[in-house]
Amino acid sequence: MLALIQFFVDLALLRRGPQDLPASAALLVLLIGLNFVIGSINGADLFGGFLPALGANLLDVLLTLVLLFALLQLRGHTARLQQTASAFFGLGALAGVLMLAVRLPAELLGLGTQIALIDLVVAIWLHLAFGNILRHALDVPLLAGVIIMLSYTMIAFNLIARVFPPVIAG
């Protein structure tokens, strides 16, 4: 288990690629589940509760799988789907745990403005790390992977927000 966590830390630091993960359906299901639960906990405030956050995260998982399948199909690399998806969802789970570890103490200390800055830094880092995964999976430059991720984020968030509207704190 520690080796798997270390892998995702290395992936987050752009030292590894999805090709270094085993192609395992069981691992993919585990990582989707972790990502789903952690993402729902993190998204509860944004979506007005845990249940709407569950729905939003389920939609995000489905959109991510469709995106990865389509991109890998276009590039003729469908055999890389399990590893690429495992890398995406494992990295998402790691980022989610990091956000919980930072956000909860910051909220307790009343550091709301700093939380927004932390969220921005993590979002930038995540787009680079996800872009790195796409770079390896699709055999494209890092910049192309990052641009794909930025585009996906905008499209996916707009779709998800139409189905599960974010709650704006007043």
Residue 53 placed within a domain: yes
Residue 87 placed within a domain: yes
Range of the domain at 136: 26-163
Mention every residue, 6+ apart, whose C-beta is less than 8 A from residue 22.
83
Residues 127 and 149: beta-carbon distance below 8 Å: yes
Residue 147 placed within a domain: yes
Residue 16 placed within a domain: no
Residues 150 and 127: beta-carbon distance below 8 Å: yes
Residue 12 placed within a domain: no
**Whole-angstrom Cα distance, residue 7 to residue 86?**
12
Residue 77 placed within a domain: yes
pTM: 0.91
> For residue 112, with 0-12 CB atoms within 10 Å meaning exposed, 13-18 middle and 19 or more buried, which class applies?
exposed
The tally of domains found in the chain comes to: 1
- pLDDT per residue rounded down to tens, the chain (170 residues): 898 999 999 999 999 999 999 999 999 999 999 999 999 999 998 999 999 999 999 999 999 999 999 999 999 999 999 999 999 999 999 999 998 888 878 878 887 777 878 888 889 999 999 999 999 999 999 999 999 999 999 999 999 999 999 997 64
